[in-house]
């Protein structure tokens, strides 16, 4: 009896209890140590329930809500509000024959989802605009932005809009819909998964093939390397310093900082997407790819077919086409592109910097469409090698210019950075910067080399990895965790897109 009492007291109950309490200073993310332990326990239970579909779906849904609570606190109830409202709206819509009533129902879904998004994300932003116009004072409200609210509201909206357009039939089980909206791998930072792609997989017999296991582990390892090694290290040790005080650094340092941020945001976001895709594969679900080497693009149009594909396709299908797309003449098409990207910029955050970022991309898309119309070219038309290289270089630097506005919190900071690059370049300090930040520079070079490497090289490495024995996956994952522990900073670096 005494032995049992001693064993009971030796268990770190307080440490275990902490895992059920939200800590705003340490949100749960895929690259955190606690998630890796929880994921291992989760997979064991998931495997035990592989034949009990309803219990498995309920278990994953409960874990997803726990994961979201650990990421965003008690605001997980917003996820429930969006889920329940859109589920029943879609149910009523499917039984309604009147087109006018169906429009009112889909408008109600838009009002609820976008209303929540607008309140939490844009209240203070539009309050300041109203104050400037009216001259009346505005005091910022203390509003916490729930993690990933932009992602799960857009995902749920795509479901009700597709039901309205009669592209899909609504689900009959609230549990299944809650599973779809809250599925934790992509809940807080995407990719935005379409109902038509995901729902047919929910009740299928669970099957994780050898190829799915290997591919899933490949994506997880690659995602961890991108996020926790490259992105976090160059962010903490170089990029943040430059963007926090651009006036203190020469133009060449500012330019390297911009290049570093271009790599950081790509590795951060695509790394998260890779891990989400990999974890989903281990659970028997397939997601579409979300990034396809975007800096290889030879035009801004191609860039948006490679960058954050789930969002760009969402904006195309549910906003651009709804505005008229290219069906109402060229001038209207150009205007629709600019409106879509303006709103796409605003989706990223309540800041004029995001609006400028989106508007710049919208104008560039319109000019590129105009150029293709004038020259009669089509997207993907092969160019001479040197022209292709020039187009890639130009597109990359245009994206980098836009990233300056995306990253800076204040418009003045963006202008300062551009001014330093244009008027105080000082290339003579380049060697000193490279030697002073040699670890950062090595990781940046490695990151860009891997990004621009031929696709066939990546495919060959992937095929070789998949053929490895299962124990090799475990050893490689452990080795990656050891590397992460050696290079990580003392604080957890949240994913950039958590703020959106």
Per-residue pLDDT tens digits for 329-344: 788 888 888 999 888 8
Percent of the chain with pLDDT over 90: 28
Most confident of the ranges 286-290, 343-347, 393-397, 472-476: 393-397
pLDDT tops 70 at residue 394: yes
- Inter-residue contact 255 to 207 (CB < 8 Å): no
Q: What does the pLDDT average to over 175-204?
A: 86
Average pLDDT, the chain: 84
Q: Is residue 421 part of a domain?
A: yes
pLDDT at residue 219, as a whole number: 92
pLDDT tops 50 at residue 223: yes
Class of residue 39 by CB neighbours under 10 A (exposed 0-12, middle 13-18, buried 19+): middle
pLDDT in tens, 22-47: 555 566 666 666 777 787 888 888 88
pLDDT tops 80 at residue 190: no
Model confidence at 388, pLDDT cuts 50, 70, 90, reads: confident
- Supply the range of the domain harboring residue 174: 51-202
Co-location of 160 and 57 in the same domain: yes
Q: Is residue 34 part of a domain?
A: no
pLDDT tops 50 at residue 13: no
pLDDT at residue 382, as a whole number: 65
pLDDT tops 80 at residue 137: no
Co-location of 324 and 446 in the same domain: yes
Co-location of 265 and 412 in the same domain: yes
Q: Is residue 187 part of a domain?
A: yes
Co-location of 216 and 243 in the same domain: yes
Model confidence at 11, pLDDT cuts 50, 70, 90, reads: low
Co-location of 193 and 226 in the same domain: no
Q: What does the pLDDT average to over 44-72?
A: 87
Q: How far apart are CA 255 and CA 270, in angstroms?
A: 22
pLDDT tops 60 at residue 6: no
CB neighbours of residue 481 within 10 Å: 16
pLDDT tops 60 at residue 12: no
Q: Is residue 3 part of a domain?
A: no
Co-location of 193 and 255 in the same domain: no
Model confidence at 7, pLDDT cuts 50, 70, 90, reads: low
Q: How far apart are CA 444 and CA 458, in angstroms?
A: 18
Percent of the chain with pLDDT over 70: 89
Q: Is the peptide bond before 191 cis (omega within 30 degrees of 0)?
A: yes
Co-location of 190 and 332 in the same domain: no
pLDDT at residue 176, as a whole number: 92
Most confident of the ranges 8-22, 71-85, 222-236, 381-395: 222-236
Model confidence at 489, pLDDT cuts 50, 70, 90, reads: low
Q: Is residue 227 part of a domain?
A: yes
Tell me which of 202, 223, 252 is where a domain ends. Answer: 202
pLDDT tops 60 at residue 427: yes
Catalytic residues: 348
pLDDT in tens, 269-310: 899 899 899 999 998 898 988 999 999 998 999 999 999 999
pLDDT tops 60 at residue 9: no
Q: What does the pLDDT average to over 212-232?
A: 90
Tell me which of 152, 178, 202 is where a domain ends. Answer: 202
Co-location of 356 and 298 in the same domain: yes
Co-location of 382 and 457 in the same domain: yes
Token pair recorded at residue 204: 């299928």
Q: How far apart are CA 494 and CA 70, in angstroms?
A: 13
Domain count, the chain: 2
Co-location of 453 and 316 in the same domain: yes
pLDDT at residue 450, as a whole number: 92
Co-location of 335 and 193 in the same domain: no
Task: Give CA 169 to chain center in angstroms.
Answer: 28
Strands annotated E in 92-213: none
Length of the chain: 500
Question: Residue for token digits 């309540």?
Answer: 350
Q: Is residue 94 part of a domain?
A: yes
Token pair recorded at residue 424: 């105080």
Tell me which of 167, 202, 237 is where a domain ends. Answer: 202
pLDDT tops 90 at residue 207: no
Co-location of 405 and 495 in the same domain: yes
Q: How far apart are CA 273 and CA 495, in angstroms?
A: 11
- Inter-residue contact 181 to 156 (CB < 8 Å): yes
Q: How far apart are CA 161 and CA 193, in angstroms?
A: 14
pLDDT in tens, 87-125: 999 999 988 888 888 899 989 999 999 888 888 888 877
Q: Is residue 36 part of a domain?
A: no
Residues 146-164 as b/e (b if ≥16 CB within 10 A, e otherwise) read bbbbbbbbbbbbbbbbbbb
The more confident residue out of 376 and 489 is 376
Q: Is residue 11 part of a domain?
A: no
């Amino acid at each position: 009896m005494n032995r049992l009492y001693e064993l009971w007291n030796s268990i770190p109950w307080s440490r275990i209890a902490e895992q059920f309490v939200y800590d705003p200073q340490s949100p749960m993310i895929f690259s955190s140590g606690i998630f890796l332990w929880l994921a291992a326990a989760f997979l064991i239970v998931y495997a035990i329930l592989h034949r009990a579909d309803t219990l498995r779906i309920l278990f994953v849904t409960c874990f997803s809500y726990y994961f979201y609570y650990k990421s965003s606190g008690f605001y997980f109830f917003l996820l429930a509000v969006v889920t329940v409202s859109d589920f029943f709206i879609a149910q009523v819509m499917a039984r309604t024959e009147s087109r006018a009533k169906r429009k009112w129902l889909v408008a109600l879904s838009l009002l609820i989802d976008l209303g929540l998004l607008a309140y939490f994300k844009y209240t203070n932003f539009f309050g300041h605009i109203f104050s400037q116009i009216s001259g009346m004072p505005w005091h910022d409200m203390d509003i916490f932005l729930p993690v990933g609210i932009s992602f799960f509201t857009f995902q749920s909206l795509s479901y009700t809009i597709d039901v309205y357009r009669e592209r899909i039939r609504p689900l009959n089980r609230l549990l299944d819909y809650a599973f779809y909206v809250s599925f934790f791998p992509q809940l807080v930072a995407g990719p935005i998964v379409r109902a038509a792609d995901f729902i047919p997989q929910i009740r299928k017999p669970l099957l994780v093939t050898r190829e799915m296991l290997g591919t899933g582990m490949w994506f997880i390892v690659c995602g961890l390397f991108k996020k926790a090694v490259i992105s976090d290290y160059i962010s903490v040790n170089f990029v943040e310093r430059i963007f926090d005080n651009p006036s203190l650094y020469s133009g060449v340092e500012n330019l390297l900082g911009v290049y570093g941020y271009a790599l950081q945001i790509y590795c951060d976001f695509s790394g998260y997407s890779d891990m989400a895709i990999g974890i989903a594969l281990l659970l028997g679900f397939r997601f579409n790819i979300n990034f396809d080497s975007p800096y290889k693009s030879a035009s801004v149009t191609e860039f948006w077919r490679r960058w954050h594909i789930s969002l760009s396709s969402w904006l195309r299908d549910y906003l651009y086409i709804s505005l008229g797309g290219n069906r109402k003449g060229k001038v209207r098409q150009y205007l629709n592109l600019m409106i879509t990207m303006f709103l796409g910029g605003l989706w990223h955050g309540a800041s004029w910097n995001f609006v400028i970022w989106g508007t710049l991309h919208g104008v560039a898309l319109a000019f590129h469409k105009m150029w293709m119309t004038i020259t009669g070219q089509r997207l993907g038309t092969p160019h001479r090698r040197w022209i292709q290289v020039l187009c890639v270089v130009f597109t990359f630097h245009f994206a980098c210019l836009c990233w300056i506005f995306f990253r800076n919190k204040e418009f003045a900071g963006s202008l300062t950075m551009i001014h330093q690059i244009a008027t105080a370049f000082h290339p003579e300090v380049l060697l000193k910067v490279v030697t002073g930040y040699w670890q950062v520079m090595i990781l940046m070079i490695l990151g860009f080399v891997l990004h621009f490497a031929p696709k066939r090289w990546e495919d060959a490495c992937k095929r070789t990895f998949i053929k490895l024995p299962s124990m090799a996956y475990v050893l490689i994952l452990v080795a990656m965790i050891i590397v992460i522990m050696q290079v990580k900073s003392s604080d957890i670096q949240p994913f950039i897109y958590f703020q959106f």
